[in-house]
Amino acid sequence: MERFESYVFTALCSTNFLISCLMFSKMTREQREPYMDEIFHVPQAQKYCGGKFSEWDPMITTLPGLYLVSVGVIKPLAWLAGWTGKVVCSTGMLRFVNLLFNGGNLYLLYLIIYKLHLKDKARAASRRVLSALCLSTFPVLYFFTFLYYTDAGSTFFVLFAYLMSLYGSHKAAALLGGCAILFRQTNIIWVAFCAGTVVAQKLDESWKTEQSKKKEEKWPSQIPLSLAGAGKVTHFLLEYIMTPSNVKSVLLIAWPYAVVAMGFLVFVLFNGGIVVGDRTSHEACLNFPQLFYFFSFTLVFSVPASFSYRRAVSFFHSLKKQPSLYLLLTIASFFLVWKFTFVHKYLLADNRHYPFYVWRKVFQRHELVPFLLVPGYVFATWNFLESLKSKSLFWNLAFLACLTAATVPQKLLEFRYFILPYLLYRVHIPLPSMPRLLLELGLYTTVNTATLYIFINRTFHWPDSTAVQRFMW
């Protein structure tokens, strides 16, 4: 890291933390008591603060990573400051842990972007710093910085694990991946992604070697869209895994991830499933339209960074060049929307969450609306893949496989589930120009300001309750 770049980044970190502290203070004053899922998380963390590690709320569905870290951070601070009584693990102090995670996420995002975008160091310095700042204020993630939820900590450990894997420290990456699983069990998918990038790198090297032997042209980084191209890649993969030396070379590097996977499998077998506690609202299904929702979500939040007039023209050229392919994709998308759309009861009942209004105002406006959105899904999917065309074929396959595993089984449309795949997508696309980054920061700042204002000032009451209700992601 260049000295000037480090100074600028340090200044931005300090400014970001100061602004976040001011907003945190405002949020905590307005909502002092636990809200939404905090009514489960806060009491459980307070039990751990009191040394009651054997007591567990059966309504909690995640492992106790958040509570263990909270106790590990707050208890030493309380001892050093001489704090006693309820203030030690109050709701405000517990929420403050996520504010620390936010600072950590900013730093990790910067280090990941620095590692992934090393070329043209001098010119890209300011863009790397601003990209990290933008992503640390990504609206869905940033909002939950101010509440005692698992998102900030879960994101921190996944990003930390991925950073270590980028630097080849796979034992550390696997250990951090295990910590991420303690925050949210589905993070096993992103541990698999870290392992998948290792395998993808080996496959890339082997593919290039094979192509050079055959004196063929360099293989394209885009996923081949022809049957011949798909067949060629399939044949290569089968040949690769049937060669013992290739499998051995992969295992010698990726074995720490395999150990985590085996440990997770043991947990699932003993627990009788992935979810701990109440499982009635967490039933897995094949909700394929979740992929379409994610691609659309990604398009909206990455518009300043990934979309342009030239990109739109490129899409229409692609459409004109391969009409049969896009017709087939559209038909397949219609079928998936028709047969595999599932609607969770919470999505229809809980009017405190934004997805409730998205579903009611858009999808439920008319029974044909989900099908009318299919062309938009096709474009959003194309834009997603086009943005990642600089990445290798096998990296894309690994990422898409993990993305599918992270989204499709989810019955509930919940924007929080999109945080990690979005961030991983965004750090891997080419660095946007400064004007685009400023537009992105402006978009995120506007959305954050609006959501925090609505949460604080636009309260309401349910007819059968006197409790104050607030809108949130």
Read off the pLDDT of residues 427-453 as tens digits, 9 standing for 90 and up.
999 999 999 999 999 999 999 999 999
Q: Name which of 459, 450, 447, 471 is nearest 351 in CA terms.
A: 471
- Type and span of the H or E element at 241: helix 227-241
C-alpha gyration radius of the chain: 23
The partner residues of 353 in beta bridges, in order of sequence, read 472
Q: Do 264 and 188 meet the contact criterion of CB atoms below 8 Å apart?
A: yes
Residue linked to tokens 């204020």? 137
For residue 221, what pLDDT is reported? 44
- End-to-end CA separation in angstroms for the chain: 36
CA 393 to chain centre: 21
State both tokens at 297.
């979500």
For residue 207, what pLDDT is reported? 79
Taking residue 409's Cβ as centre, other Cβ atoms within 10 Å add up to 17
For residue 13, what pLDDT is reported? 86
The one-character DSSP state at 417 is G
Regions of the chain short of the pLDDT cut 70: 1-2, 85-86, 120-123, 212-229
CA distance 421 to 468: 33
Return the half-sphere exposure (C-beta side, CA atoms, 13 A cut-off) of residue 153. Answer: 27
Q: Do 201 and 172 meet the contact criterion of CB atoms below 8 Å apart?
A: no
In a 3-state reduction of DSSP, which class is residue 184? Answer: coil
> In whole angstroms, how far apart are CA 235 and each of 203, 212, 239, 242, 245?
13, 17, 6, 11, 17
Q: Please, is 192 exposed, middle or buried when counting C-beta atoms within 10 Å of its C-beta (0-12, 13-18, 19+)?
A: buried
Residue linked to tokens 């659309």? 296
- Type and span of the H or E element at 72: helix 65-81
CA distance 35 to 190: 29
CA distance 25 to 146: 9
Within 8 A by CB and 6+ apart from 377, the residues are 292, 295, 296, 333
Q: Do 427 and 305 meet the contact criterion of CB atoms below 8 Å apart?
A: no
Q: Name which of 135, 137, 115, 127 is nearest 432 in CA terms.
A: 127
> In whole angstroms, how far apart are CA 195 and each of 54, 201, 202, 230, 444?
34, 10, 11, 23, 31
For residue 123, what pLDDT is reported? 64
Residue burial 315-334, b: 16+ Cβ < 10 Å; e: rest: beeeeeeeeeebeebeeebe
Return the half-sphere exposure (C-beta side, CA atoms, 13 A cut-off) of residue 460. Answer: 10
Domain boundaries, the chain: 3-457
Q: Please, is 29 exposed, middle or buried when counting C-beta atoms within 10 Å of its C-beta (0-12, 13-18, 19+)?
A: exposed
The one-character DSSP state at 363 is I
State both tokens at 159.
């990003």
CA distance 443 to 434: 14
For residue 79, what pLDDT is reported? 81
Q: Do 42 and 148 meet the contact criterion of CB atoms below 8 Å apart?
A: yes
Q: Do 436 and 107 meet the contact criterion of CB atoms below 8 Å apart?
A: no
Q: Do 296 and 76 meet the contact criterion of CB atoms below 8 Å apart?
A: no
